[in-house]
Amino acid sequence: MLINKAYKFRLYPSKEQETLIAKTIGCSRFVFNRFLGQWNDTYQETGKGLTYSSCSAELTQLKKEFVWLKEVDSIALQSSLKNLADSYTRFFKKQNKAPRFKSKKNPVQSYTTKVTNSNIAIVNNKIKLPKLGLVRLAKSREVEGRILSATVRRNPSGKFFVSILVETDVQPLKKTESSIGVDLGITDFAVLSDGRKIDNNKFTCKMEKRLKREQRKLSRRG
């Protein structure tokens, strides 16, 4: 059974890579906000939105007007546009509110890029990302599965992280055709229908300490 799974790691980009990440975040926000404005105008005039295809074609022309858009990952810009289209689709289906403009003052800034021709890959303790090249990361575990996309984030403290979405094959657990009841208690945390007991030493110890502390407070007041 194929499922999607996410991995999150700390990134340690170089100064040049940090600058490019900031540019990519800014350009992705610019694209989202510009087309959101057009989408809103069209919706107010016609009651309908635009389409991803028409906006994508316009984005190509937009790069000729704003040449700095060519400096960053083009897939990230397309992803920003796709996120806008998906958000408006959910709005029309009454699944969420209308999308809002993105602010550069948001505490967490990010952009998402997708896999095309192996442009995203884990190489030892680094990750290969479009335009950035190899970026050092704190790989706490192995990434298993086919990489689908990567989201680069910068938090308020200036630290960078990457979330990697993969598609992996998981074998479902065999059905045992058996069931068990659980009864939550006080003396024991839980008692199972097969007679097993799960102790709550941790909880009891915590409450005992709290009880002693409250008793000392009460004695001082007396």
* pTM, full prediction: 0.75
Listed in sequence order, the residues at least 6 apart from 215 whose beta carbon sits closer than 8 Å to its beta carbon are: none
Look at residues 7, 2, 20 and name the one whose alpha carbon lies nearest to residue 149.
7
| Overall average pLDDT of the 135-157 stretch | 94
- Residues 30, 84 within the same domain: yes
Interval 94-117: pLDDT, tens: 898 989 999 999 999 999 999 998
Instruction: Report the range of poorest mean pLDDT among 5-9, 95-99, 155-159, 211-215.
Output: 211-215
Same domain, 112 and 8: yes
CA distance 55 to 57: 5
Q: Is residue 67 part of a domain?
A: yes
H/E element holding 212? helix 201-221
7 vs 206 pLDDT, higher one = 7
Supply the pLDDT for residue 186: 62
More confident residue, 94 or 174: 94
Query: For residue 140, what are the contacts with CB-CB under 8 A and spacing of at least 6?
Result: 9
Q: Do 193 and 155 lie in a common domain?
A: no
**pLDDT score recorded for residue 200:** 66
Same domain, 156 and 198: no
Residues 18 and 98 in one domain: yes
Same structural domain for residues 70 and 104? yes
Question: Does some domain include residue 156?
Answer: yes
Q: Is 88 found in the same domain as 189? A: no
Straight-line distance from the first to the last Cα atom of the chain, in angstroms, rounded to the nearest whole number: 65
Portion of the chain with pLDDT greater than 90, in percent:
64
Instruction: Report if residue 70 sits inside a domain.
Output: yes
Q: Give the number of domains in the chain.
A: 2
Same domain membership, residue 161 and residue 125: yes
Higher pLDDT, residue 146 or 201: 146
Residue 176 lies in a domain: no
Mean pLDDT of the chain: 89
Domain check: are 60 and 35 in the same one?
yes
Q: Is the pLDDT of residue 177 over 90?
A: no
Half-sphere exposure in the Cβ direction for 16 (13 Å, CA): 6
**Domain co-membership, 18 together with 86:** yes
177 falls within a domain: no
Q: What range defines the domain where residue 196 resides?
A: 182-220
pLDDT tens-digit map of 48-92 = 888 999 999 999 999 999 999 999 999 999 999 999 999 989 988
13: left (phi over 0), alpha (psi -120 to 50) or beta: beta
Q: Does any domain span residue 33?
A: yes
Same domain for 117 and 43: yes
Q: 211 and 160 in one domain?
A: no
